[in-house]
Chain A
Amino acid sequence: MADGLPDLSARRSRLLGTGERRGLAVSSASTVIVLAALVLLFLLAPGSRAVRHTFFNPADMWRAFVGDPAKGYYSVGEAIWLNIRMFVVAEILILILALVVAVVRQSTGPALLPLRVVSTVYVDVCRGVPLILLIFAIGFGAPALSLRFISSQSAAVYGVAALVISYSAYVSEVYRAGINSVHRSQVAAARSLGLTEGAAMRHVILPQAVRTIIPPLLNDFISLQKDTALVGVLGSIEANKAAELFSDTTFNYSSYVVAAILFLLLTIPLARFTDHLIARDRARRLAGAGQ
């Protein structure tokens, strides 16, 4: 039904010649009708009352959002800041570490062979091990080492370390795909001008590589934003952990919906931004080809 409407409106606007406004009105109306139908379906479905009470109770959602440490649960709204901080720090470290790993793996000098081997093994291992395992191993293992600096960090720090180690392996492969997507003749052109291998990489290869990998890179970062929730298993009060504490205390699960909404508020803008970049890149390419 929703599929049929835009077609119809297009035909009608052609017939009547009133253009876009009519199409817009029809598509808005159809959207409202479909949404209203879905809401109605949800309200009338068997068990709807219990679901609404357990997951969508406005009072409980508010309580979970603001928190009450005296009653044993923390604010989900405040806890999401920890997710954001972990995400931002991890993202920066990942961008750097992954680039280093990718460039080392792409290097050709014989002296760098040991580093190439190390980075290859690193990528194979850390891509193949479950992230949650890394988080447990580092988060519980590092304090057990009783080393001065390493063993006295907060759970969030260990969590970020695990995220960086795991994601850098993935992201280095994204970088590498981008580097390989730049045609070999570009390297020849750069080297023939007397640029060193490093200068050719920096000024000619990487700028072209980065352009092609921004969408897959952002995709990985959307995933990273969500995976900061895994750090909660170490006891860090991030949004998911705060939601869990709320439900443990109150036996109401609206806190998870609050956490989910907060995560969505982070990831959806990034997803739209990624789409925007892809569209812009395509438009630019078409404009270039048209000349």
Chain B
Amino acid sequence: MGRTDPADSSGETLRGSGAQALRVEGVRKAFGTNEVLRGIDLSVASHEVICLIGASGSGKSTLLRCVNLLERIDAGAIYLDGRPITGPGVNENLVRRQIGIVFQSFNLFPHMTVERNVTLAPVKVLGLSRAEAAAQAAVLLDRFGLAEKRADYPDRLSGGQQQRVAIVRALAMRPRLMLLDEVTSALDPELVSEVLDVIRELAEGGMTMLIATHEMGFARDIASRVCFLADGQIIEQAPPAQLFSQPADERTQRFLRRIVDAGRL
């Protein structure tokens, strides 16, 4: 695999329009002696929705944090739209404004209203005027049923509402790619669906997404491709129908059997 031209349409994608949005090549990452990623290769086409599944500790979250440059990779390379975003001379702030990430624990800014949470980065990073940013925020908040929460502080919102605000906050930067890191894991069960609905709507709108999730049913519905991770490697990747019904690798089979036994698929 060499460098890719952004216009190059190589891909066995289902929904992708062809152009490669993200490519991860041989990425390794260790925390001390604990090697969390051991050579990850993955490419994501525009408009593709990739779900990463696997047990806790398999490296899903670390991979997302590496793509967002919140963690520095030890080896390998990552390309966004064909341009390398790892290695020397990369302006990580420029990269990050094109990649939105939503965290398991929401991480809204507690000292700011919902509107300020959503407009902070567009104003400070993209240089929008406050009025422009507020208008854009109003449209997004309205679209996701949060219009009435505009002036509230995060601690007055439910978990589901907070997570939807966090998604809107990332969307307000008009990212090229969205990374979702187990965004429903911290939610009460009855609040999960409102967040999944938002993600579904984004997928229908053509947003390119890389999603780490424990929600297998959701992954089956939404993903163009599902990647199973174990021990810091992608063991198997396939369209969800195939991966969930005929997993090829023995480890994937074992993982899915446990999920089924737990009644979660």
A and B are interacting partners: yes
User: Which residues of A pack against B, CB within 8 Å?
Assistant: 185-186, 188-196, 199, 203-204, 207-208, 211, 288-289, 291
Of the four ranges (under 10, 10 to 19, 20 to 34, 35 or more), the interface on chain B belongs to: 20 to 34
Asked if B107 is an interface residue, CB under 8 A from chain A, the answer is yes
Known: A185-B103, A196-B93, A208-B111. A191 touches B124 (CB 8 A): no
Are A188 and B103 touching (Cβ within 8 A)?
yes
In the complex, residue of chain B having the shortest beta-carbon distance to the beta carbon of A207: B111
Contacts of B121 in A (CB 8 A): 193-195
> In the assembled complex, which residues on chain B have CB atoms less than 8 Å from the CB atom of A196?
93
CB–CB B124/A199 < 8 A? yes
Q: Within the assembled complex, what's the spacing in Å between the Cα atoms of A108 and B190?
A: 41
Contact of B155 among A188, A207, A291 (CB under 8 A): A291
With a cutoff of 8 Å between Cβ atoms, the chain A residues found around residue B96 in the complex are 191-194
Residues B124 and A189 in contact, CB atoms below 8 Å apart: no
Task: State whether B156 touches A194 (Cβ < 8 A).
Answer: no
- B residues contacting A by CB (< 8 A) are 65, 68, 70, 93-94, 96-97, 99-101, 103, 105, 107-111, 120-121, 124-125, 153, 155-156, 169-170, 173
A203–B155 CB distance below 8 A: no
**A contact face: mostly helix, strand, loop, or mixed:** helix
- Bound CA span A199–B173, Å: 16
26 A-B pairs in the complex with CB atoms less than 8 angstroms apart = A185-B105, A186-B109, A188-B65, A188-B103, A189-B107, A190-B109, A191-B93, A191-B96, A192-B70, A192-B96, A192-B99, A193-B96, A193-B100, A193-B121, A194-B93, A194-B121, A194-B125, A194-B173, A195-B93, A195-B125, A196-B93, A199-B124, A208-B111, A288-B153, A289-B155, A291-B156
Q: Which residues of B contact A199 (CB under 8 A)?
A: 124-125
- Using A186-B109, A203-B124, A211-B111 as known contacts, say yes or no to A193 and B155 having CB atoms under 8 A apart: no
Q: Which residues of B contact A195 (CB under 8 A)?
A: 93, 120-121, 124-125
Contact of A194 among B97, B108, B155 (CB under 8 A): B97
Docked CA distance A291–B154 (Å):
11
Contact assessment for B155 and A288 in the assembled complex, using a CB-CB cutoff below 8 Å: yes
A185 to B120, CA, bound (A): 17
Among candidates A188, A193, A207, residue contacting B97 with C-beta atoms closer than 8 Å: A193
